[in-house]
A and B are shown apart, each in its own frame.
Chain A
Amino acid sequence: MIAHLPALQVHLPVLQVIIPLMAAPICLILKRAHPVWLFALITSGLAFVISVLLLQQVMTSGVISYELGGWQAPWGIEYRIDKLNAFVLLIITSISTIVLFAAQTSIEKEIPKSKHTFFYILYLLSLTGMLGIVATGDAFNVFVFLEISSLSAYALIAMGKDRRALWAAYQYLIMGTIGATFILIGIGLMYQMTGTLNMEDLSQRLPEVAQTRTVFTAFAFVIVGVCLKLALFPLHLWLPNAYAYAPSIVTAFFAATATKVAIYLLIRFTFTIFGLSFSFTTIPLQTLFMALGLAGIFIASTSAIYQKNIKLLFAYSSIAQIGYMIVGFSISSVTGLTATLLHMFNHALMKSAIFLALGAVMYRLGNVQLSSFHGLGRQMPFTMAAIVIGGLSLIGVPLTVGFVSKWYLLLALLEQGWWPVAVLILLGSVLAVIYVWRLVEVAYFKEPLSDQVPVKEAPMFFIIPIWTLIIANIYFGIDTRLSVQVAQAAAMSLFGVTP
C-alpha cells in the first residue's frame, strides 16, 4: 500500500475534491456527533495537506491537467490546476480546517444536539462544492459544484438559532438560484457558439466568435450571475442577514471562503475564458467595476458604522472588503490583480479570526449586540484582543496583513496614475477606523452594565484557532515573501507574462 503512495501523487487534483466528498456520506454512517467532528477535522486537514502539495507542485512544474474518466479534455471533464486555483484551494482548506477546530464547542450552544451530525455533513459538502468549483477546468462542472456548495450553504445558514436565519437563508436561496441559473444561461450560450464546455478549449475558440451579440450576452449573464454570488454592490442584499444570523462557525467559514470562490470565478471567466482583450476592451468593464467597487466600499462601510449587532457590522464590512478586491481586479494590471489575490488571502485570515472571536463571545454571552460588549475587554482579554488586531488588519495598519494588500492596491493605482481613486481607498480605511473604534470604545473604555453577569474567557477550543489566525495575520504582515510570491506568480501567469 505504501509503495503505491508515490503513484497517488498524479491523482492529487481529484483527491482534493473527492476526499471531503466521500467523507460526507461516511459521516452519516458514523452517526454520533463527536466521532463525526473528529473525522471531519481530519478530512479537512488532509485536504489542506493535499492543497499544499498541489501548490508546491504547480509552483515548481507548472500547470497540472487531470483527465477524469481518462477521456481527453474537451470530451471528458478536466481538472486543471494552475497557480491561481492552487492558491485559492490553499485558502479554502486552511481556513476550513482551523475553523472546524472550534466547531464542536461553538455549535454546542447554537444548534440542537440531534442536528450536529447533519451540520458536519453539510459543512463538508460545502467545502467539497467550493473545492470542486475551484479545481475544475470545465464550465458546466462549475455549475454542478456551485450548486453543491450553495445548497449546503442555505441549509447551514438556516440552522442559526434566530428565526431570522430562516428568512435570510430563504432570500439567499432565491438570489443564489437566480444567479446560478444566469450562469447556466451564459454557459449555454457559450456552448451554443463554440460547441465546447472545456475552459481551455473555450478560451481558444471564443475569440473567433467574440464579435457576435450572442457571446456578448453570454458574458453579461455569466458576470451578473457570478456577481450575485459575490455579493457585489448593488447585488449584495442577501449577504448581511445571512452572515449575521447563521451559526458562528458557518459565518467564520463563509466570510473567509465563499466570496473568495466567487471572486475566483470572476477572474477565471474574465481572464482565462473570455480573455483579457475581450473582457476589458470590448466591454467597459473596467469603469463599471471600479465604480461599483468604490460605491460598495463607501456605502457598506457607512452602513457598518450604524449597526448595533456586531456580526451584522462585520458582515457589512465584508461587502466593503469585496469592494477593495473588485477595485484591484478592475485595474487589470499585474500589480492590481496581485493586490486582489493578496487581499483574498489576507481578508480570509482576518475575517475568519474576527468571526471566530465573535463566535466565542456568542458562546459566553449568547448574543453579539454592541451593548453586551461593555467592559468585555477585561473579561475576555484574549478574545477581544484578537478582534482588535483583526480590526487593525481590516483598517490596514502596518505590520498586519491588511497593510500589505492595501499597499499593493495603492501601488497599482499609482502605477496607472489614478491617484484620486487611491485617495478614495484611503478614505475608505478611515470609515473602517470608525466602525472598529466603536467596538473598541465599548469593550475597553466602558464599565460593564450593572445587570450583566460577568463572564469568563472563552474555552481553549476557541482561543487556539483564533490566535493561530491572528498570528498568521501578523506573520504574513511582516514576512510577505510567501504570499506575495505566489499571488504575483498567479497574476503574472494570468496576464501571460513570464516572470
Chain B
Amino acid sequence: MINIVILTLLVVIAIAIIRMKDLFAVVMLLGIYGLLSASFFVAMDAVDVAFTEAAVGAGISTLLMLVVISMTGRREITTRHKPFSALFVVAITGFLLIYGTLDMPYFGSADAPIHGHVAPRYINDSMQEIGIPNIVTSVLASYRAFDTFGEVVVIFTAGIGVLALLSVVRRPEDPEQIAVINDSMHERHLVIRIIAKILIPFILLFALYVQFHGDFGPGGGFQAGVIFAAAIILYTMLFGLSTARRVINQSLIRLVAATGVLLYGSVGLATLLSGGNFFDYNVLANDPIAGQHLGIALIELGVGCTVAVVIIIIFFNFAARREMQLNNKKQHQDKKNKESSSC
C-alpha cells in the first residue's frame, strides 16, 4: 500500500513542477521528488539505490541548481510554448510504453523472466565467490566492475567538463583581506557556524564509515564520496569560498580526482599483470576470497576519492563563477558611479 501513497505524492509533485513559475520552488519540489523516490526505493528493497538517490537527487543536484538560480534569476518567463507538438510526442511515447507493459510480467511476481537466468547466481553464489553479504556491492564491484569503472569515468568527465566551461583564473588572494572578511562575518551566522564546526567531524567520520561498511550494508564509495563532499560544501557555504580554498588546495584536489580513476584502473592493470583477466581480483592474493576483498576495497577507495573530489570541484567552480560575476558587477557599478560623479 505504501508504494501507492508514495507514487500518488510523486504525481502531485510532478504536476506542481509543471505549474510553478518560481524556479526556486521548482527546485525545492525537485528535491522533494528525489527524496520521495528514495523512500520508494526503500519500499522496493533497493536500499543502496535509495541511499544514493537521497544523497544525489535531494542533496547535490538541488544544491547545484540553487547556486545556478542565484546567478540566472528565479522567474520563469512563459513565452510562447509549443504545447501541442510536445503533447503529441508525449502522447505517442506514453501510449507506446503502456502498450509495451501489456505483456509485461505483473509487478512483484517472483517467476518473471527478469528474476531468472542471470540474477539467481548473484544471490546464490556470491557468498562463496566474493564473500561479502551485500549482493549489490558484489555485483557492482566485481561481477560488473567495468560498469562501475565507466561510472567513475563519467563523473570524472563531468568534473573536467565543468572545469573546461567555468574555471576562472584567479588572482592570488591577500590573506589579510580574507581575515578582515572573516572577522566582519563573524557576527553573522554565528550559531550555525559553531554548530557546523561541531558537526563536520562527525559527517566526515560517517563518510568513512559508509566507505568501509559498504560490504555489509548499504553504502560504498559513491555514497561516501558524496557525504564527504557535503561536509566540505557545508564548510564552504558558512566560511566563504576564500577560506575554503585555503583549506583545500585546488591543484591538489585535481590530482586526487585523477588518482582516484588511476587507482581503480591500476587494480585492473595489476590483475592483468598477475595473469588474470582485467578486474579478475582472484589473482590478487593467494586465496581468491582475500583477493576479491582486496580488489573491492581498493576500487571502492578509488570511487570514493574521485566522487568526493569531483563534486567539490564542481561546487567550487560554480561558486567561484558566481563570485566573479558579483565582482564584475561591482566594478562596473563603481565605474558608473565615478563617471556620474565626475560629470
Q: Do chains A and B touch in the complex (CB under 8 A)?
A: yes
A contacts, CB < 8 Å to B: 4, 7-8, 11, 14, 18, 21-22, 24-26, 28-29, 31, 66-71, 74-77, 114-115, 118-119, 121-122, 125, 128, 132, 138, 140-141, 144-145, 147-148, 151-152, 154-155, 158-159, 185, 189, 191-197, 205, 209, 212-218, 220-221
* A141 near B150: Cβ-Cβ < 8 Å: yes
A149, closest chain B residue (CB): B157
Contact among B102, B150, B277, B282 for A144, CB-based, below 8 A = B150
Cβ of B212 within 8 Å of any chain A Cβ, yes or no, is no
B contacts, CB < 8 Å to A: 96-97, 99-105, 112-119, 121-122, 142-147, 150-151, 153-154, 156-158, 160-161, 163-165, 167, 169, 251, 254-255, 257-259, 261-262, 265, 268-269, 272-273, 275-282
* A148 near B157: Cβ-Cβ < 8 Å: yes
* A25 near B259: Cβ-Cβ < 8 Å: yes
Contact among A69, A151, A213 for B277, CB-based, below 8 A = A69
* B144 near A148: Cβ-Cβ < 8 Å: no
* Number of inter-chain CB pairs below 8 Å: 176
Contact among A11, A125, A191 for B272, CB-based, below 8 A = A11
* B262 near A122: Cβ-Cβ < 8 Å: no
Q: Which residues of chain A are near B281, meaning CB under 8 Å? A: 69
CB distance from A203 to the nearest CB of B (A): 14
| Bound-complex Cα distance A413 to B258 (A) | 51
| Bound-complex Cα distance A138 to B273 (A) | 24
| Bound-complex Cα distance A214 to B106 (A) | 12
* B280 near A152: Cβ-Cβ < 8 Å: no
CB distance from B307 to the nearest CB of A (A): 14
* B118 near A28: Cβ-Cβ < 8 Å: no
Contact among B122, B145, B160 for A122, CB-based, below 8 A = B160
B126, closest chain A residue (CB): A75
Known: A24-B153, A71-B142, A118-B164. 15 other contacts (CB 8 A): A7-B275, A14-B272, A18-B269, A21-B265, A24-B160, A25-B156, A25-B265, A67-B277, A69-B146, A76-B143, A121-B160, A125-B153, A125-B160, A151-B158, A196-B117
Given A21-B265, A195-B117, A220-B96; A69-B160 close (CB under 8 Å): no
* B112 near A192: Cβ-Cβ < 8 Å: yes
Contact among B102, B116, B147 for A213, CB-based, below 8 A = B102
B277, closest chain A residue (CB): A70
* B145 near A69: Cβ-Cβ < 8 Å: yes
Q: Which residues of chain B are near A66, meaning CB under 8 Å? A: 277-278
Q: Which residues of chain B are near A158, meaning CB under 8 Å? A: 164-165
CB distance from A13 to the nearest CB of B (A): 9
Contact among A18, A114, A115 for B278, CB-based, below 8 A = A18
Given A68-B277, A118-B164, A122-B164; A214-B103 close (CB under 8 Å): yes
Given A118-B164, A192-B113, A196-B118; A25-B261 close (CB under 8 Å): yes
* B100 near A214: Cβ-Cβ < 8 Å: yes
CB distance from B325 to the nearest CB of A (A): 16
| Bound-complex Cα distance A66 to B97 (A) | 35
| Bound-complex Cα distance A474 to B340 (A) | 67
CB distance from B278 to the nearest CB of A (A): 5
Q: Which residues of chain B are near A193, meaning CB under 8 Å? A: 104, 113-114
| Bound-complex Cα distance A146 to B105 (A) | 29
| Bound-complex Cα distance A118 to B147 (A) | 24
| Bound-complex Cα distance A74 to B147 (A) | 14
Q: Which residues of chain B are near A67, meaning CB under 8 Å? A: 277
CB distance from A409 to the nearest CB of B (A): 32
Q: Which residues of chain A are near B261, meaning CB under 8 Å? A: 22, 24-25
B155, closest chain A residue (CB): A151
* B164 near A75: Cβ-Cβ < 8 Å: no
Q: Which residues of chain B are near A25, meaning CB under 8 Å? A: 156, 257-259, 261-262, 265
CB distance from A24 to the nearest CB of B (A): 7
* A75 near B122: Cβ-Cβ < 8 Å: yes
* B153 near A21: Cβ-Cβ < 8 Å: yes
CB distance from B173 to the nearest CB of A (A): 18
